[in-house]
């Protein structure tokens, strides 16, 4: 039986991924790659919708790919590649942009947030059409499952609408994908500001646990995490967001129930609890960090792996793109 297709990706927007990317995405990808025919992409074309330094972008792209592999995504099992190495992504995005409403794109909340942050003169047209490129990523591979955080749900919904619209207008062409959304406890918050989502491109790094940070830095960030004055290790997102966040991380990495961890630390202070968490995080990160740095020592080998995977992706993508060009009525080269 052929496996169902899965597609997901991350932007190369930092030198290192953070623990939210690891818990919210990579751990799930690693499990799902067994039962799906999975495509995992470093979406560099998405990253350039906001200004990037060219030298750094290339480096961040390699580093992101190395961290996928170090975290357990196997390039022999899954197709792990760089988006810009498969031209069909940009080509399908153009076609899809012609069936996307201007108002429809304008309702995307990520665009509204980001364009507000940059101001309308700084916000690029690429930022506006970002979700259309994401739809192209997904639809090129006849994807059935798209594992993402809930912030991406609206984009997957747009993808579904575009697939249905194209199919209705031009004939059955695309599989309509389903989002696979993580449960609430899989969302990790900033250790210094536990009401906002941890993000790899955050302005302050003090509350962000980076996969490639030195062990001592990780330990310090955990020991300095914001908690509260009540001293009880108990999960309550409303009144104890700092402690609840640390409990979520602990539970996600160990696979234990939150209540079991609360019991273990009953009657003990936050110091003990943080030391326990520090040991868990360091033990999880150390091998991933070591493997990623090892892979980055041989960039030529890493580039070859990515290129071979891009070839595999391009073959699958071109099949869909060719059907799309035919359906739309573009005159093919004879
Ligand atoms: P950026 O700061 O560049 O927006 P990010 O760290 O917020 O980056 P993305 O590249 O947007 O992360 O997302 C990659 C994947 O990681 C997505 O599936 C997203 O849902 C997941 N993810 C990102 N941050 C978190 C978080 N704090 N908790 C859980 N999952 C997260
Ligand atoms: N927009 C996503 C990254 C992304 C993606 C995709 C995720 C680009 N294309 C296709 C899933 C499927 C983000 O910022 N996390």
> Would you state the pLDDT for residue 185?
62
> Would you state the pLDDT for residue 116?
85
> Would you state the pLDDT for residue 184?
65
> Would you state the pLDDT for residue 315?
98
Measured in angstroms, how far is the CA atom of residue 131 from the centroid of ligand 1? Answer: 16
Measured in angstroms, how far is the CA atom of residue 229 from the centroid of ligand 1? Answer: 30
Options 3, 77, 200, 240, the catalytic residue: 200
Closest among 140, 38, 81 to 310, alpha carbons compared: 81
> Would you state the pLDDT for residue 269?
92
Q: Which of 26, 38, 46 to mutate to test the pocket of ligand 2 (most atoms within 8 A of CB)?
A: 46
Rounding to the nearest 10 degrees, give the CA dihedral for residues 30, 36, 42, 46. Answer: -130
Give the pocket of ligand 2 (CB within 6 Å): 7-11, 43, 46, 134, 137-138, 146, 148, 152
In the residue annotation, 221 being an active-site residue is answered as: no
Domain residue ranges in the chain: 5-186+298-328, 205-293
Residue 320 · residue 92 · CB < 8 Å: yes
Give the pocket of ligand 1 (CB within 6 Å): 10-11, 13, 18, 20-21, 23-25, 148-149, 151-152, 186-188, 197-201
In the residue annotation, 77 being an active-site residue is answered as: no
Half-sphere exposure (CA, 13 Å, Cβ side) for 69? Answer: 24
In the residue annotation, 274 being an active-site residue is answered as: no
Measured in angstroms, how far is the CA atom of residue 153 from the centroid of ligand 1? Answer: 13
Q: How far is CA 4 from CA 10, 29, 167, 211, 213, in A?
A: 21, 14, 20, 30, 36
Q: Which tens digits make up the pLDDT trace of 138-152?
A: 999 999 999 998 889
Atom of ligand 2 nearest to the CA of 147: 11
Atom of ligand 1 nearest to the CA of 13: 3
Is the domain spanning 5-186+298-328 CATH 3.40.50.720? The answer is no
**Superfamily the domain 205-293 falls into:** Tyrosyl-Transfer RNA Synthetase (1.10.240.10)
Residue 10 · residue 43 · CB < 8 Å: yes
Measured in angstroms, how far is the CA atom of residue 74 from the centroid of ligand 2? Answer: 19
Q: What is the 3-state secondary structure (H, E, C) of 262-290?
A: HHHCCCCCHHHHHHHHHHHHHHHHHHHHH
Measured in angstroms, how far is the CA atom of residue 93 from the centroid of ligand 2? Answer: 14
Q: Which of 155, 158, 180, 186 to mutate to test the pocket of ligand 2 (most atoms within 8 A of CB)?
A: 155
Spatial CB neighbours of 271, under 8 Å, sequence gap ≥ 6: none
Within the chain, which residues score under 50 in pLDDT?
Answer: none
């Amino acid at each position: 039986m052929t496996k169902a297709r899965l597609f997901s990706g991350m932007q190369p927007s930092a030198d290192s991924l953070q623990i939210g990317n690891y818990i919210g995405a990579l751990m799930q990808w690693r499990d799902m790659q067994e039962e799906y025919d999975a495509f995992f992409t470093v979406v560099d074309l998405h990253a350039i919708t906001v200004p990037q330094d060219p030298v750094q972008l290339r480096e961040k792209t390699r580093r992101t790919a190395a961290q996928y592999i170090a975290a357990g995504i196997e390039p022999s099992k899954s197709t792990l590649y760089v988006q810009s190495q498969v031209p069909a992504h940009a080509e399908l995005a153009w076609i899809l942009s012609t069936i996307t409403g201007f108002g429809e794109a304008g309702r995307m909340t990520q665009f509204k947030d980001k364009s507000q942050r940059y101001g309308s003169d700084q916000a690029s047209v690429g930022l506006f059409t970002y979700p259309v490129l994401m739809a192209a990523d997904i639809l090129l591979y006849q994807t059935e499952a798209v594992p993402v955080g809930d912030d991406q749900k609206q984009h997957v919904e747009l993808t579904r609408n575009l697939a249905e619209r194209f199919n209705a207008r031009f004939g059955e062409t695309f599989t309509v994908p389903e989002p696979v959304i993580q449960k609430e406890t899989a969302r990790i918050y900033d250790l210094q500001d536990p009401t906002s989502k941890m993000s790899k491109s955050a302005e302050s790094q003090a509350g962000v646990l980076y996969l490639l940070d030195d062990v001592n830095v990780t330990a310090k960030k955990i020991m300095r995490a914001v908690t509260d004055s009540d001293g009880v290790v108990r999960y309550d997102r409303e009144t104890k967001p700092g402690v609840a966040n640390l409990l979520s991380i602990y539970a996600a990495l160990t696979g234990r129930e939150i209540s079991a961890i609360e019991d273990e630390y009953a009657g003990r202070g936050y110091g003990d609890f943080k030391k326990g968490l520090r040991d868990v995080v360091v033990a999880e990160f150390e091998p991933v960090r070591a493997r990623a740095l090892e892979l980055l020592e041989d960039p030529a080998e890493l580039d070859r792996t990515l290129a071979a995977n891009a070839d595999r992706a391009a073959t699958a993508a071109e099949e869909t793109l060719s059907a799309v060009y035919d359906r739309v009525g573009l005159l093919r080269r004879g």
